[in-house]
């Protein structure tokens, strides 16, 4: 056991979400608790780390935006520069996978940065917020979790930001990394990192609000109108959330190619696991056709994460070649 002065310092930034919610029966819960309220639920963690709480916001996570997370990245850098051995961010689970990946792209720290939340609000029996926060603090304080990039800790599992996604609307086991599996887990008082990502995500400089990047979902029986509707108004880029390994109706292929000649168009998949293909299907609208028309494969990045990477790259003024090259590295 460390003496109090030897305990690693961890900074907790709370943004809101279900983990922080309270409310009366019938009217629904809303974010109310601040960072120090959250720490009250885990007094035993004082023996693991000296945790300093900072309340950033009390919001449902769907209210968060790029500028909020860029500002949070600055605060995380400052906390680490000030001596924090690790950082925990609590927020709503609805967009947790996006915040985690945005921070992963914005930060280049060796210190663990851990995002967590809760599926059950504190008024529910079995609310797991304190357990998730305790596990997240253990990971943030652990030397074993250094150099992993940003991770999400939920349900005692450690997930890389690049892969993690919410896959269920209410189960406490909602989070998973379908394409890669979790990096590790927390058991008793131990943090076990079983696997390390082969490469860190690229780091992209924040240069202000990125241009608009839209998602085009490809659906059964879909038509060109949805593409035309989305391209009205100023547009910096598009991510096609294609079916299967990266496929769209042949009737859309020409228009997608025309668009890709003007702005970056990234080809992702709606499947939820696995990479976009590159050389399997030869029919019109298949991945070979679409990539040949200038679309950029998202690889293992799902459409939401591909949108974040493309947005940051566009915001940083990257050229089309730089965007394609970064996607090739980030999506491997
Ligand atoms: N609606 C909540 C939010 O994302 C869900 C949660 O936190 O689990 O803010």
User: What are the boundaries of each domain within the chain?
Assistant: 9-193, 213-331
Residue-level pLDDT at 330: 82
- How many other CB atoms are found less than 10 A from the CB of residue 304? 16
**What is the three-class DSSP state of 22?**
strand
Q: Pocket of ligand 1, candidates 61, 115, 166: which has the most ligand atoms within 8 Å of its Cβ, to mutate?
A: 61
Ligand 1 neighbour 17 (Cβ under 6 A): yes
Position in ligand 1 atom list of the atom nearest CA 16: 9
Say yes or no: CB of residue 93 within 6 Å of ligand 1: yes
Residue 167 alpha carbon to ligand 1 centre in Å: 13
- Measuring CA to CA, how many Å separate 224 from each of 28, 122, 287? 40, 46, 18
Q: At what angle do helices 66-81 and 96-106 cross, to 10 degrees?
A: 60
Which DSSP state fits 144? Answer: G
| Radius of gyration over every alpha carbon of the chain, rounded to an integer in angstroms | 21
Q: Is the CB of 92 under 6 A from ligand 1?
A: yes
Nearest atom in ligand 1 to the alpha carbon of residue 119 is 8
Contact, 211 vs 310, CB < 8 A? no
Ligand 1 contact, 18 CB (< 6 A): yes
Answer CATH for 9-193 from 3.10.290.10, 3.40.30.10, 3.40.50.1170, 1.20.140.10: 3.40.50.1170
Q: Find the 157 Cα to ligand 1 centroid distance in Å.
A: 19
Determine how many CB atoms are found less than 10 A away from the CB of residue 234: 7
Question: How many Cα atoms occupy the beta-carbon half-sphere of 90 within 13 Å?
Answer: 37
Dist CA 156 CA 7 (whole Å) = 22
pLDDT at residue number 1: 53
Shortest-distance atom of ligand 1 to CA 19: 7
In degrees and rounded to multiples of 5, residue 17 shows phi and psi of: 85, 175
- Check if 18 is active-site: yes
β-bridge mates for residue 55, sequence order: 14
Burial 122-149 (b: 16+ CB within 10 A, else e): beeeebbbbbbbbbbbbbbbbeebeebb
Positions of E strands within 97-180? 113-116, 151-154, 157-160, 165-166, 175-176
Q: Is 94 annotated as a binding residue?
A: yes
The ligand 1 atom nearest the CA atom of 91: 7
117 lines ligand 1 (CB under 6 A): yes
Q: Look at ligand 1, atom 8, and give the residue with the nearest C-alpha.
A: 93
Asked whether residue 169 is marked as a ligand-binding residue, the answer is: no
Which of these is catalytic: 11, 18, 95, 269? Answer: 18
Distance 202 CA to ligand 1 centre (A): 28
57 lines ligand 1 (CB under 6 A): no
Please tell me whether 34 is known to bind a ligand: no
* Cross-strand pairs, 263: none
Q: Which of 325, 324, 272 is nearest to 300 (CA)?
A: 272
> Each residue of 11-31: pLDDT tens digit?
999 999 999 999 977 899 999
Q: Which fold has domain 213-331?
A: Rossmann fold (3.40.50)
Say what the pLDDT of residue 24 is.
Answer: 77
Closest CA to 177 of 214, 148, 206, 208: 148
Mutate to test the pocket of ligand 1, among 15, 16, 60, 166 (most ligand atoms within 8 A of CB): 60
Is the CB of 119 within 6 Å of ligand 1? yes
Instruction: Kindly report the number of other CB atoms within 10 A of residue 167's CB atom.
Output: 15
Q: What residues in the chain have per-residue pLDDT under 70?
A: 1-5, 331-332
Whether ligand 1 lies within 6 angstroms of the CB of 14 is answered as no
């Amino acid at each position: 056991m460390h003496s109090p002065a030897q305990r690693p310092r961890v900074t907790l930034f709370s943004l809101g979400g279900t983990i922080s919610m309270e409310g009366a029966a019938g009217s629904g819960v809303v974010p109310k608790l601040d960072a120090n309220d959250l720490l009250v639920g885990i007094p035993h963690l004082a023996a693991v780390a000296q945790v300093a709480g900072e309340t950033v916001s009390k919001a449902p996570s769907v209210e968060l935006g790029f500028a909020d997370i860029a500002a949070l990245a600055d605060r995380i850098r400052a906390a680490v520069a000030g001596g924090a051995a690790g950082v925990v961010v609590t927020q709503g689970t609805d967009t947790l996978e996006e915040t985690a990946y945005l921070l992963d792209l914005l930060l280049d720290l060796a210190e663990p940065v851990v995002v967590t939340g809760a599926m059950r609000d504190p008024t529910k029996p079995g609310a797991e917020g304190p357990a998730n926060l305790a596990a997240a603090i253990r990971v943030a304080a652990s030397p074993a979790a250094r150099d992993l990039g940003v991770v999400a800790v939920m349900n005692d599992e450690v997930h890389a930001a690049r892969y993690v996604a919410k896959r269920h609307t209410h189960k406490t086991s909602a989070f998973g990394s379908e394409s890669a599996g979790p990096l590790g887990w927390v058991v008793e008082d131990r943090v076990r990192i079983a696997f390390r990502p082969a490469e860190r995500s690229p780091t992209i400089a924040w240069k202000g609000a990125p241009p608009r990047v839209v998602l085009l979902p490809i659906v059964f029986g879909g038509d060109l109108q949805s593409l035309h509707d989305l391209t009205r108004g100023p547009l910096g880029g598009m991510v096609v959330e294609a079916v299967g390994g990266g496929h769209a109706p042949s009737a859309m292929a020409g228009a997608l190619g025309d668009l890709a000649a003007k702005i970056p168009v990234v080809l992702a998949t709606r499947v939820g696991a696995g990479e976009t293909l590159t050389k399997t299907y030869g029919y019109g609208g298949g991945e070979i056709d679409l990539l040949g028309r200038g679309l950029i494969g998202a690889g293992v990045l799902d459409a939401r994460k591909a949108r974040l990477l493309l947005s940051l790259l566009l915001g940083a003024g990257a050229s089309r070649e730089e965007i394609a090259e970064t996607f090739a590295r980030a999506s491997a």
